[in-house]
Amino acid sequence: MNQYPLWKYLLVLVVCTVGFIYALPNLYGEDPAIQISSVRVKVDAGTLTRAEQVLQKAGLTPIASQLDDQGAKIRFADIDTQLQARDVVQKELGDSYTVALSLLPKTPEVLRALGAKPMYLGLDLRGGVHFLMQVDMAAVSKRAEEHFVDDLRRILRVAKVRYQTIALRDQGGIEIRFRDAAERVKAQAPIRAEIRDLELTDGEDANGPYILATLSQKGLLERQGAALEQNMTSLRNRVNELGVAEPIIQQQGRDRIVVQLPGVQDTAEAKRILGRTATLEIKMVDEEHDLASAVAGRVPPGSQLYKERNGRPILLKKRLVYSGDNIIDASPSFDSRNNEPIVSITLDSTGAAINQRVTGKNVGKRMAVVYVEVRSEVRRDKEGNPVLDAKGEPIRTQRRFEEVITAPVIRSQLGKRFQIEGAFTVEEANELALLLRAGALAAPISVVEERTVGPSLGHDNIKQGFQAVAAGFLAVMIFMVIYYRVFGFIADVALALNLVLLIAIMSLLQATLTLPGVAGILLTLGMAVDANVLIYERIREEVRAGNTPQASIHAGYEKALGTIADANITTLIAAIMLFNFGTGPIKGFAVTLSIGILTTMFTAIMGSRALTNLSFGGRRLSGLPI
């Protein structure tokens, strides 16, 4: 009696071994590092070599470096070296690259090869800034209506319907006025055929008949969702400049975005980067004048000298064809003819009309896409040191950054949709589509809430949280050993396994540990012991009733199982509800609580039962040390 088959012992052993392996990375800590990235230029081995060489000249020795999909990362022994290295490398690489501070885990290569990573630490544990941003959804619907005004004019012109005016109403909607009701009836069919997102309502007043066109609820929700997603994509792109190891950018409700930047302390700098604007300009390449003369300083009137992504000069005409405001979508794809990566562009009606006219007249010529961004930078002297004002604060200047990201040849007349070909790699096509799609925010955003957590406070939170878990863990272990003797020791071993498995699962899932999450861990430890207490009290009752020790152990585990399962399942349901309907801190608590319930069911029932069976199973016992 009270013996497991071999496969159950092996299952417990395997689960515990895997748990130890994936919990280990949390013991190694982190290295201060710099992270080199770029959304315009590929970060390759040559970039990393340049950075290492300039660091060597400056006497700043890194302890390790690596190249991955996100860019280059260089580790240092201390924070002072990290800060100096960031300035040196940024000065060497220039504005095309972003060199940001970061923290990288010191997990050994053996564990990294197995996919073992430490848990993410939340804002309250690491320190940083928290923003709650409101997206202006009224601007989304207004922009959609502005686009529809041009579309409606084109549709009615093609359908040869006479109208008086097409104008936006202050309270929303588009008003189309006609001379008579017959023209109004004639306009209904072509509008409905081409624009399905508009709801048309007939009306008449002292000025004559009209149609009120309003955006349908479905169309409005789709555009608002797309705007929110585009803003989140743009914000993620901009957060790269801050070098945040684990930024949290997520939707909250229908019109808000939560941005958490662990490790960032400069709130003004974070807001500047998150809220900055970037756009695109489409211009024709000046192929009539000599490029060499322009490079030598003789730039012809009406033209301007630019640089391409690879650093080569290119001469463009100053006249703007159209801007990125006319681009409503961009996505990477493949050319069906040669299977090469391309970027598919969709323009609004204004951009489509301009594109059709300009490209029709310039087949065989080149048209350039210019990335334009206004940056706020710290003014520096010749030695690269920041220039300070009378108060000792760095002086910032606004600088316009322009770069030609592609200049393809116009093969045929283009319209609303066209493709950009440029011998792209898959990565370059993805990056270009991202720039076109997320170079600017789709709708204005405003910060409605901001909080800053200092690094010292975050460090104190970690220390206090660890002390709370350790104190609670030790108190429970001592109580269990005193009160239940050998069985209490078995419960303590199961409790330690529970904690290890909880940390391992959170590390595997790359869940973020927050201060409420630490509270969830403490609650889990108490609940895990509660399960063992139910089992052991049941065993005591069986012994007092006169049952044999082996029968008492068997009955204790079997009869307490239902009560333990009921208690844990109801708590798990509550945790799932907290996760689904709660905000950030509540979700952090719910995550650790949910995982803890699952690990408790395994360790308190199967794990402790395996240890009990190994200790007492198959033996003739005169009594139980309980």
Average pLDDT over residues 569-582: 84
What's the whole-number mean pLDDT along residues 263-279?
Answer: 59
Is residue 313 a part of any domain in this protein? yes
Residues 522 and 609 occupy one common structural domain: yes
**Mean pLDDT estimate for the chain:** 80
pLDDT tens digits for 67-99? 877 788 899 988 788 888 888 888 888 766 777
**Residue 293 belongs to a domain:** yes
Match 């003739």 to its residue by tokens: 620
The verdict on 435 and 496 lying in the same domain is no
Question: What are the tens digits of pLDDT across the range 432-463?
Answer: 665 565 555 666 677 777 777 665 566 677 77
What proportion of the chain, given as a percentage, has pLDDT over 70?
A: 86
Interval 297-343: pLDDT, tens: 888 888 889 988 778 899 998 888 887 767 777 777 787 777 778 87
In a domain, 59, yes or no: yes
Task: Judge if 471 and 587 occupy the same domain.
Answer: yes
User: Is 501 part of any domain?
Assistant: yes
Nearest CA among 105, 86, 109 for reference residue 37: 86
Quote the number of domains for the chain.
4
Q: Based on the domain organization, do 433 and 461 belong to the same domain?
A: no
Q: Are residues 280 and 163 in the same domain?
A: no
For 175, the domain range is 138-220
In terms of domains, do 476 and 597 share one?
Answer: yes
Domain shared by 20 and 41, yes or no: no
Instruction: Give 24's Cβ-side CA count (13 Å radius).
Output: 17
235, 163: one domain: no
Q: Of the residues 402, 434, 452, which one is the last residue of a structural domain?
A: 452
CA 369, CA 416: separation in Å to the nearest integer?
Answer: 16
| Higher local confidence (pLDDT), 408 or 177 | 177
Tell me which of 164-173, 183-192, 348-357, 423-432 is least confident. 423-432
150 with 272, same domain: the answer is no
Q: Which of 316, 319, 322, 320 is nearest to 406 (CA)?
A: 316
**What CATH number does the domain containing 572 carry?**
1.20.1640.10
- CA–CA distance, 126 with 108 (Å, rounded to integer): 22
* Same domain as 458, residue 446: no
Same domain, 507 and 375: no
Interatomic CA distance for residues 17 and 258, integer angstroms: 38
* Three-class DSSP labels, 496-556: HHHHHHHHHHHHHCCCEECHHHHHHHHHHHHHHHHHHHHHHHHHHHHHHCCCCHHHHHHHH
User: In sequence order, what are the beta bridge partners of 308?
Assistant: 404
Q: What is the β-pairing status of strands 120-121 and 512-513?
A: parallel
Same domain, 398 and 325: yes
- Closest alpha carbon to 432 in 14, 40, 35, 20: 40
On whether the CB atoms of residues 212 and 201 are closer than 8 A, the answer is yes
Q: Is the pLDDT of residue 524 over 60?
A: yes
Q: Among the residues of 103-198, which ranges form H helices? A: 109-113, 123-126, 137-158, 181-194
What is the CATH classification number for the domain harbouring 167?
3.30.70
Q: What is the pLDDT of residue 457?
A: 60
